[in-house]
């Protein structure tokens, strides 16, 4: 059965035929994109004009997100910026500690029992003039139920007195670097790092399973994908135990599930030889809508948390250098074995010292196992300089940069973390393209909201939250930005032969748009209306998802 759709415009991303008026679909795949007369040559067909006033693009590809964005929405949103939830509701940002408290009170009023915990997420005290949220703030919401709010970075948990009490921490004599004390000698209710967070987190409703995504979370994540025009999304750091894989295969296999999920196994809890074996096993379990077998390695921390490893002369405000999340020797070992066994690795680096170490290790590994087209990808890689992009090119590496950071933390990077000059080269998209390094851009949802058009807007405009342009010379054009959120991201996942453009033989994955991103103007990219998606020929309207 062939369906031919007409549209106001079809932007194909196929360089041989960039624009079309019609696209023919059979069995979930594209027969061709062109004009009607050509496509009728495929045989008997139905003409479907439901998209006659829409613009079609290849389904967008989010190359670095986490499906736990879907899980977080069951907690109270406490972020500073407005944010769209999976049901389509736009949540206003909470602009002060008082606003956070008010929002928690509203949610509290709906809870049945007086002991039920209350949890929030996406708090970022950096926007409150660095005023800290402490247990007294949260005690205003309730003194009888445990309350906790996870920081936007995921590395800090703020809790009330009841939560501390339940964890046995509301006492004098607590001596832990991640648990700051007040003048009364008792913890102030801020917990930093997994060691300090976990024992209290379980009492407020956060447990370890939060970091994996569960079934309900995966479904919510997919709804968000439809609202943002995304048909292929990564879940970049999952531990992928057998029961999670079984659940993901089942859920993504349902007819009504609207997105392809690429889930990476994070290097943790397994030795290097074990994780390489596991990656091969996972690869064999892949289905059309669930792709497995890539490994994620986290080399260092975050720049705004001063835990990224950066080179001389270090942090602008003099903060101590960051830390290695994986020992350098283990990095060397994993690249060597992965190249030998043909397993792809994506590596998180933020600081330029971490990027340099990864480049050194990959270069050394390539001498042992020359591997054409390995597509090892640097994720974030925010602080790389031009020389490092040249090394990436020489080594055959890809990069997935994080332009959303300019908007959310650019002002802080300029003032505090890396200073004015290096802040302008952060997420150097123009340098990556000029050097010929295959480029993708990402949201790292839930760290920033899922939405490739917003990410493209960030790469094109490089505006910070205060309205400044940070790094004029690293801005890229709209056409390049649109390529990075389709073919660019698909390439880093070795999926560019299947998705990322609208052309004969590829998956019938489309973003269905109200506006034309090529004519709306770069400054308006973030406001493009998304009607929904077509995934493998199945139609998903955002209004009905």
The site for Zn ion (CB under 5 A) is made up of: 444
DSSP class of 402: -
Region class of 154: left (phi > 0), else alpha (psi between -120 and 50), else beta:
left
CB of 443 to Zn ion, least distance (A): 9
Q: Which is nearer to Zn ion, 266 or 483 (CB)?
A: 266
CB of 476 to Zn ion, least distance (A): 22
CB of 233 to Zn ion, least distance (A): 12
CB of 234 to Zn ion, least distance (A): 9
CB of 142 to Zn ion, least distance (A): 32
Q: Which is nearer to Zn ion, 238 or 252 (CB)?
A: 238
CB of 182 to Zn ion, least distance (A): 33
CB of 95 to Zn ion, least distance (A): 26
Q: Which is nearer to Zn ion, 448 or 464 (CB)?
A: 448
Q: Which is nearer to Zn ion, 103 or 380 (CB)?
A: 380
Nearest to 59 by CA among 511, 529, 519: 511
Q: Which is nearer to Zn ion, 142 or 349 (CB)?
A: 349
Q: Which is nearer to Zn ion, 160 or 379 (CB)?
A: 379
Q: Which is nearer to Zn ion, 444 or 498 (CB)?
A: 444
Positive or negative, the CA dihedral 412, 526, 455, 215 is positive
Q: Which secondary-structure segment (H or E) carries 337? A: helix 328-341
Report H helices in 140-182. Answer: 161-166
Nearest to 443 by CA among 43, 99, 91, 67: 67
Q: Which is nearer to Zn ion, 352 or 444 (CB)?
A: 444
Per DSSP bridges, beta strands 345-349 and 295-298 are parallel
CB of 262 to Zn ion, least distance (A): 13
Nearest to 141 by CA among 122, 158, 124, 166: 158
C-beta of residue 6 within 8 angstroms of C-beta of residue 13: no
Could you give phi then psi for residue 77, rounded to 5 degrees? -75, 120
Q: Which is nearer to Zn ion, 5 or 206 (CB)?
A: 206
Region class of 173: left (phi > 0), else alpha (psi between -120 and 50), else beta:
left
Count of CB atoms within 10 A of residue 40's CB?
Answer: 15
- The Cα 349–Cα 383 span in angstroms is 9
Q: Which residues of 279-317 are buried (b: 16+ CB within 10 A; e: fewer)?
A: beebbebeeebbbbbbbbbbbbbbbbbbbbbbeeebbbe
Report H helices in 436-514. Answer: 452-461, 478-483, 489-492
Q: Which is nearer to Zn ion, 221 or 540 (CB)?
A: 221
- The Cα 123–Cα 196 span in angstroms is 18
CB of 97 to Zn ion, least distance (A): 27
Using CB atoms, what's the residue nearest to Zn ion?
444
C-beta of residue 314 within 8 angstroms of C-beta of residue 277: no
The two three-digit tokens of residue 360, written as one number: 């050194």
Q: Which is nearer to Zn ion, 9 or 155 (CB)?
A: 155
- The Cα 332–Cα 435 span in angstroms is 26
CB of 425 to Zn ion, least distance (A): 21
CB of 71 to Zn ion, least distance (A): 14
The two three-digit tokens of residue 361, written as one number: 């290790």
- The Cα 153–Cα 265 span in angstroms is 20
The two three-digit tokens of residue 26, written as one number: 């059979």
């Amino acid at each position: 059965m062939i369906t031919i759709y007409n549209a106001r415009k079809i932007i194909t991303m196929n360089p041989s035929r960039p624009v079309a008026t019609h696209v023919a679909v059979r069995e979930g795949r594209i027969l061709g994109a062109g004009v009607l007369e050509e496509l009728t040559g495929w045989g008997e067909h139905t003409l479907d004009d439901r998209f006659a006033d829409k613009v079609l693009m290849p389904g967008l590809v989010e190359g670095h997100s986490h499906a736990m964005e879907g899980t977080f929405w069951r907690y109270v949103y406490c972020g500073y910026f407005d944010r769209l939830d999976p049901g389509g509701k736009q949540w206003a940002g909470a602009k002060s500690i008082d606003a956070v408290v008010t929002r928690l009170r509203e949610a509290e009023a709906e809870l049945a029992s007086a002991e039920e915990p209350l949890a929030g997420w996406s708090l970022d005290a950096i926007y409150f003039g660095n005023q800290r949220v402490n247990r007294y703030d949260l005690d205003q919401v309730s003194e009888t139920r445990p309350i906790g709010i996870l920081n936007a970075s995921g590395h800090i948990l703020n809790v009330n007195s009841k939560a501390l009490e339940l964890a046995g921490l509301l006492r004098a004599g607590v001596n832990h670097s991640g648990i700051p004390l007040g003048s009364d000698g008792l913890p102030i209710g801020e917990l930093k790092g997994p060691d300090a967070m976990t024992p209290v987190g379980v009492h407020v409703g956060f447990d370890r399973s939060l970091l994996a995504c569960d079934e309900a979370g995966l479904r919510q994540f997919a709804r968000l994908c439809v609202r943002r025009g995304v048909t292929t999304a990564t879940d970049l750091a999952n531990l992928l135990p057998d029961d999670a894989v079984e659940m993901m295969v089942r859920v993504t296999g349902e007819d009504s599930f609207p997105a392809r999920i690429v889930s990476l196994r994070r290097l943790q809890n397994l030795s290097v030889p074990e994780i390489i074996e596991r990656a091969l096993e996972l690869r064999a379990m892949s289905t059309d809508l669930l792709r497995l077998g890539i490994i994620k390695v986290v080399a260092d921390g975050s720049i705004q948390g001063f835990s990224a490893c950066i080179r001389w002369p270090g942090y602008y405000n003099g903060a101590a250098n960051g830390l290695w999340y994986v020992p350098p020797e283990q990095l060397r070992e994993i690249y060597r074995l992965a190249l030998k066994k043909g397993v792809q690795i994506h590596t998180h680096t933020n600081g330029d010292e971490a990027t340099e170490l990864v480049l050194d290790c990959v270069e050394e590994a390539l001498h042992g196992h020359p591997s054409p087209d390995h597509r090892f990808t640097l994720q974030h890689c925010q602080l790389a300089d031009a020389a490092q992009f040249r090394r990436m090119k020489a080594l055959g590496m890809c990069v997935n940069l994080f332009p959303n950071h300019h908007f959310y933390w650019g002002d802080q990077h300029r003032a505090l973390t890396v200073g004015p000059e290096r802040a302008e080269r952060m997420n150097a998209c123009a340098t990556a393209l000029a050097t010929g390094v295959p480029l993708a851009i990402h949201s790292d949802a839930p760290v920033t909201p899922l939405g490739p058009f917003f990410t493209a807007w960030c790469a094109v405009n490089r505006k910070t939250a205060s309205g400044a342009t940070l790094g004029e010379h690293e801005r890229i054009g709209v056409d390049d930005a649109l390529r990075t959120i389709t073919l660019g991201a698909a390439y880093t996942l070795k999926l560019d032969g299947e998705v990322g453009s609208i052309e004969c033989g590829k998956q019938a994955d489309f973003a269905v748009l109200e506006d034309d991103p090529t004519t709306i103007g770069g400054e308006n990219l973030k406001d493009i209306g998304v009607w929904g998606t077509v995934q493998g020929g199945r139609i998903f309207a955002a209004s009905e998802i």
